[in-house]
Structures are given as structure tokens and as C-alpha cells.
Structure 1
Amino acid sequence: MGAAIAEFKRTGMAAADTAAIVSAAGVAHGTFFFHFPTKEHVLIELENREQIHMAAELAKYFSRPHGVRDTLAESVRVLEKLERRLGRLLFKDFLALHFSTTRPPSEEWGNYPVVATVVEELQRARERGEIPAAVDVVHNGVSFLVGLYALLITTPESPELREAVIDEYLTTYMFGLRAIPTN
């Protein structure tokens, strides 16, 4: 796993050389493919580990007083921290995994600790009256994160531009968390 992650950081998942991975790990090709049927499975394992870590970090933050925008902004901060740890190439592959047509079938959103933690926090905000009762916080929480993942994959690396785009995204989502009558 460590050798694969190092290679992914260096080249990205698509260009990663399994021969270099198994050589660095000191194992046979068959051993690698026994543990990870595809290179994408390495990312799924990494995602499982990182989801638990990020959800714990979010839960710690959410245990202190904060507002709804802070909830969304902290989600961004935790993902940006992950990007610094993984490097830009691996981070993009990590997020792109959510949009992959070849990814093994996924389960319910609740099986993703980060999504579950954000949705639970939005539910608490709704219970406190910070979000109107008519707002579907599950849909909004999931779509916020999926949209954020897509935004972080496609936004240019310019820190100023990225900050402006993310700030606008947060502002837009704050409007989406208001109840707008449909009748």
C-alpha cells in the first residue's frame, strides 16, 4: 500500500507502474494483485482510511460552537489538508474516484464517514433552527460534498483564484440551505 501510494503521488494513478510498486514493496506482481485487483482498489483502501481520519477531525471541530457556514468551510479545510498530505496528483485521483464509472459498486452515502459527519452536523443545525425544517439536509450535504470534490479537481492551482471560487461556492450553498416555498 505504501509503495503504491508513493508511486501514485509521483505519477498519478493512471501512469503508475505496477512493476515499480512491487519492486519498491519487495513483493511479486501476484502479491500486489492479490491484495488490490486493480490500482483503483488501492485508492479505495486509501479513501477508507482517510475518510475515518477526516470524519474524526470534523467531529472534533463540530463539537465546538460554530455556524452553518463554518460547517461547510471546515469541510473544505479538511479536504485541503488532505490535498497537502497526498500531493496534487494523488489528491485529484482520490477525488475523481467518486466519479469513476469503473469503481466497484458503492453503498449508501451513510457508509462514507465524511458525508455522514457533515450530514449529521447539518441535521443538528436544522434542529437548532439554523436551517429551515423544509430543507433536505441529506440531499444538500451529499450534493455539497460531491460538488466540492468536482470543484477541487477542476479549479486551477492559483491560490487566489481557488480561494475566490470556494468562497463563492460556500455563499451559493448557504443560499441553498434556506427553505424556498415551492407552492
Structure 2
Amino acid sequence: MTAQANPSTRQARRLQTRERILGAAIAEFKRSGMAGADVNTIATAAGVAHGTFFFHFPSKEHVLAELERREEARIADEFAGFLRQRHDLATTLTGLVDLVTGLEQRFGSVLFKEILALHFSPSRPHKDEWTDHPVIVLLVAEIERACGDGEVHPEVDAFYSATFFLLGIYGVLTTTENPATRDTMLTKLVSSAVYGLEVR
């Protein structure tokens, strides 16, 4: 009689399988885009049956949503580490631009745009609110801190300022291909945001 795996062993195997599928799916998405990605190719690369993919992820959109959730958490962790030291507003906003552009460089333009498209899609799995976005939560706290220190005008709405700034980064990265033009636009985005926030 074969000994059965205990629940913790089964759970560990299930998580390992899920990670293999996620990794294979990301590689396929980078090559073909989400719409063009083939589930059979993903399953073969992960060493699982076709149906196993759907056991872990009901759709390709669920893979993308999981990737987005993880990357948001990773960027938030890095941004929180960056904010442990005091910076002026321009340096803080530039640091956030660098983190988001770093994500695009790691994933490539196609996958980055698909993650953003899914984020704003009405059919997105596991919808959340902008007020829960971990990076925005950190930026709001930093703007409120600067306001308390007299650097930011007291009538500034920290949440809307943080949200519009992050949307501005996304807008530049998804609509502008030329690297020099992008750099100029992102620099101007930071300087305009600072000008709109600071006390004059």
C-alpha cells in the first residue's frame, strides 16, 4: 500500500506547480502577448497537463492579474525602502518613475501594456480600488508628510495627486515609444507635479 502525502506536502506541491505554470505563462506572454499565448505551450513548458493550467488559473487573464498583484507588492516594498530616508518631492517622484519604468524594462513593452490594459478593464478578475493600490497608499502618506512639514500646499488632495501622478507615468510609457521623448516627458511630469504640490 502506498503512503499518501500529508496535506502540507500536497499543498507544497500544488504551490510549486502553480509557480511553474506562472513562470511558463509569463515567458509565453513575453513572446506572444496574452491574447496570442497558447495554453498548450504553457502547460508543456510547465510540465503539466492542459487541464492543470485551468485548475490553477481559470483564464489567461487570471495569470496576468496574479502577476500584476505580485509586481505591485514588489514595487511597493522597494518604494517603502526608498522612503525610509527623507527625500524632497522631486526625488521621491523620480524614484517612483524609476521603479515603474524598471518594471516595463523587465517585462517588455507588450506585457507591460497588457498588464495595464487588464488593470483598467471592466472584466478584470479580482477588482480592487485605487485606494487599495499599495504604491498609491505610500505616495499619499509621503505627500501628507510633506504637507505636514509645510512643503506642500495645505489645500492639495494627496490621494488625487498621487493617483494622477501614477496615471501620468502609465500614460507616458504606454503612448510614447521614442526614448528621448519619454525621458523628457517623464522629467516634465515630475517637475509639473512638484510645481502643483509645493507651497509658493
User: TM-score of the superposition, structure 1-length normalised?
Assistant: 0.89
Instruction: Write out aligned runs for 1:40-119 (5 A).
Output: 40-104=61-125, 106-119=127-140
Identity of aligned residues (%): 47
Q: Which has the larger radius of gyration?
A: 2
Alignment of 1:157-172 (within 5 A): 158-172=178-192
Deviations 1:55-77 (A, max 9, x none): 11111111112111112111110
Separation in structure 1 between the aligned mates of residue 171 and residue 74 of structure 2, nearest angstrom: 21
Q: Partner letter of residue 90 of structure 1?
A: L
What's the offset of the Cα at 1:40? 1.4
Q: What is the RMSD of the two structures over their aligned residues, measured on CA atoms?
A: 1.8
Partner in structure 2 of residue 140 of structure 1: 161
How far does the alpha carbon of each residue in 1:87-107 deviate from its partner, in whole angstroms, 9 at most, with x for none?
A: 222122122222223213522
Give me the whole-angstrom Cα distance separating, in 2, the residues matched to 1:54 and 1:98.
16
Q: Is the contact made by 1:134 and 1:179 (CA closer than 8 Å) also made in structure 2?
A: no
Q: Structure 1, residues 110-132: CA drift from partner, whole Å, max 9, x if none?
A: 42211211111111111111111
1:159-182 deviation per Cα after TM superposition (whole angstroms, max 9, x unaligned): 2111011112222222332579xx
1:5 alignment partner AA: I
How many residue pairs end up in the alignment?
Answer: 179
Q: Which runs of 5+ in 1 are unaligned?
A: none
Contact 1:96 1:153 in 2 (8 A): no
Distance in 2 (CA, whole Å) between partners of 1:24 and 1:88 is: 23
Separation of aligned partners in 2, 1:125 and 1:106: 31
* CA displacement at 1:5 relative to structure 2: 0.4
| Normalised TM-score (structure 2) | 0.82
Which residue identity does 1:86 align to in structure 2? Answer: F
